[in-house]
Structures are given as structure tokens and as C-alpha cells.
């Protein structure tokens, strides 16, 4: 009995504590124009390889995919410049080891292949997160690790594009780079969506034509029957 009471008390305390942690509400996501046009995807890829890949991988994406997906459409030379010594069919992995990551950030940065799809808000979440680093009003969390879109507001990733928002011109650049990389990660999370949209269009046209053919057929078959 005593044990049951104790575990009950423990349960109440724990749920109270998680309640307190989660009481720090995340802000509603910003609206952003995620676009999957080639220029935006290329810019986003650039931000990814220049900045994010220092810590994050895309384990479902190979260097070759950057050529094969015509939406990105890099040529061989550009891919070779990006991949360095990595084989063409290698996955896009960060050079940061898990041990080093744990030592520096206390955690391993998650793989970003399907991150845009996994989070509520998708691309808008990534965009909001990247532009959501602020000064903690309560002063407990260091600048660069306080993010109003991250649950609990304390994020182990220090503001990766923080070097961009010092003046108004940089602020615009920050938004543009955040939008581009959020678009790129949205594409990476579901690279076949454009293809599916095109196929979907042809399926519709095919069905309309088929309906018309059946209608003609029905007319032909019934034309012999006296009304
Ligand atoms: C210096 C290392 C570092 C760099 C560079 C970096 N990140 Fe991170 N990132 C992290 C770490 C560490 C976490 C885990 C944060 C946590 O769980 O508190 C993380 C988490 C994330 C998450 C997941 C947040 C969630 O909801 O769980 C996203 C999305 C993300 N990073 C996007 C990016 C993008 C986009 C870039 C490039 C613009 C980038 N990161 C650059 C270290 C980094």
C-alpha cells in the first residue's frame, strides 16, 4: 500500500514538473513562402552545405541525387566541388562525429532528411526556428540558445545563421537564407512530390478521355435499340 501511495505521489510530482517545463509555450509559426523552384533549391542547398552540414547529415540523400533530381539539377562539376573526397554515391554526411557532438552540444544533432516532414508546420517550422532566436526575457538562457519556436525554448543548437542579423540588410538576408534552406529541406523530405503532382495531372486527363470514350461507346451500343 505504502509503495502504491509513494508511486502515486511520485507520478503527481513528475507530471507537475513536466507541466511546468512545457508551460513555456512555443510561438505560433511564421508564414513563409516555401518554393521548390530551382533557384531557391540551389540557394538552400548552398546554405545547407556551407552551414548546416557542419553538424547535420542528410542520410537519405546522396551527392549523385543532386544531379539526378532535375528539380535541383546540379551539373557534375558543381557536385564534384561540393562533395570533395566523398564518393559520388555516398550519402551527405556531416564530418562531425557523435562523440564530438555530445561533448560540444550535449546531444547529437538530428539527421535532417525527413525533419521537415516530421515536424508540425513542416517548412514553416524550419523557417521559424532559424529566425526565432531571441534574447531570453528572463535572462536564464544564453543568447543564441533561446528559441521561441523550440519546445521549452532552450535549444542545444546555437543560432546557425546568427552571424547574419546584425543590421537591416543582414536581416533580409537572414530571412532569405532561412527560407531557401527551409525550402530545400522541404524538398529533401519528400523529393517525389513534384513528380506526383505531374503524374496526378496526367491521370486526371487520362480519366477524362476515358470517360468520353465510354460515353461514345455507350451511344454506339445503344443506337440499335428502339427507344
Ligand atoms: C554547430 C552545430 C549546428 C549547426 C551548424 C546547425 N545545427 Fe541544427 N541542431 C544542432 C543541434 C545540437 C541540435 C539539437 C537541438 C536540441 O535538441 O536541443 C539541432 C537541431 C536542429 C533541428 C531540430 C529541431 C527540433 O525540432 O528538434 C533543426 C530543424 C535544425 N537543427 C536545423 C538546422 C539548419 C537548417 C541548420 C543550417 C542553417 C543547422 N541546423 C545548423 C546543431 C547544429
> Per-residue confidence of the chain (227 residues) as pLDDT tens digits?
566 666 665 555 455 555 444 456 889 999 999 999 999 999 999 999 999 999 999 999 999 999 999 999 999 999 999 999 999 999 999 999 999 999 999 999 999 999 999 999 999 999 999 999 999 999 999 999 999 999 999 999 999 998 886 667 778 899 999 999 999 999 999 888 777 878 888 999 999 999 999 999 999 988 877 66
- 166 CA distance to ligand 1 middle (Å): 21
**Is the distance from the beta carbon of residue 110 to the nearest atom of ligand 1 less than 6 Å?**
yes
- In 3D space, the residue among 125, 150, 148 whose CA is nearest the CA of residue 136 turns out to be 148
What was the pLDDT predicted at 225?
A: 77
Q: How many whole angstroms separate alpha carbon 164 and alpha carbon 173?
A: 7
**Is the distance from the beta carbon of residue 67 to the nearest atom of ligand 1 less than 6 Å?**
no
Q: Which residues of 190-212 are buried (b: 16+ CB within 10 A; e: fewer)?
A: ebeeeeeeeeeeeeeeeeeeeee
- 52 CA distance to ligand 1 middle (Å): 7
Which atom of ligand 1 has the smallest separation from the CA of 101?
A: 12
Q: Which residues of 110-149 are buried (b: 16+ CB within 10 A; e: fewer)?
A: ebbbbbbeebebbbbbbbbbbbbbbeeeeeebeeebbbbb
- 83 CA distance to ligand 1 middle (Å): 21
| CA Rg value for the chain | 25
Q: How many whole angstroms separate alpha carbon 186 and alpha carbon 192?
A: 11
What was the pLDDT predicted at 19?
A: 46
What was the pLDDT predicted at 171?
A: 80
Amino acid at each position: 500500500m505504502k509503495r502504491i501511495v509513494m508511486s502515486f505521489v511520485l507520478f503527481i510530482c513528475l507530471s507537475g514538473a513536466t507541466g511546468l517545463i512545457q508551460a513555456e509555450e512555443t510561438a505560433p509559426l511564421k508564414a513563409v513562402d516555401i518554393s521548390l523552384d530551382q533557384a531557391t533549391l540551389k540557394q538552400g542547398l548552398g546554405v545547407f552545405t556551407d552551414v548546416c552540414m557542419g553538424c547535420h547529415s542528410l542520410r537519405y540523400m546522396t551527392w549523385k541525387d543532386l544531379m539526378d533530381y532535375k528539380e535541383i539539377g546540379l551539373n557534375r562539376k558543381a557536385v564534384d566541388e561540393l562533395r570533395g573526397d566523398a564518393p559520388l554515391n555516398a550519402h551527405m554526411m556531416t564530418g562531425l562525429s557523435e562523440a564530438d557532438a555530445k561533448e560540444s552540444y550535449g546531444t547529437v544533432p538530428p539527421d535532417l532528411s525527413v525533419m521537415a516532414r516530421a515536424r508540425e508546420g513542416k517548412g514553416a517550422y524550419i523557417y521559424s526556428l532559424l529566425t526565432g532566436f531571441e534574447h531570453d526575457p528572463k535572462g536564464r538562457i544564453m543568447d543564441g540558445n533561446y528559441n521561441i519556436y523550440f519546445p521549452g525554448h532552450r535549444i542545444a543548437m546555437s543560432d546557425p545563421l546568427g552571424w547574419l542579423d546584425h543590421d537591416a540588410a543582414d536581416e533580409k538576408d537572414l530571412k532569405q537564407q532561412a527560407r531557401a534552406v527551409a525550402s530545400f529541406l522541404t524538398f529533401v523530405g519528400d523529393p517525389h512530390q513534384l513528380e506526383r503532382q505531374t503524374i496526378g495531372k496526367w491521370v486526371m486527363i487520362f480519366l477524362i478521355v476515358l470517360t468520353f470514350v465510354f460515353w461514345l461507346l455507350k451511344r454506339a451500343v445503344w443506337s440499335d435499340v428502339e427507344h
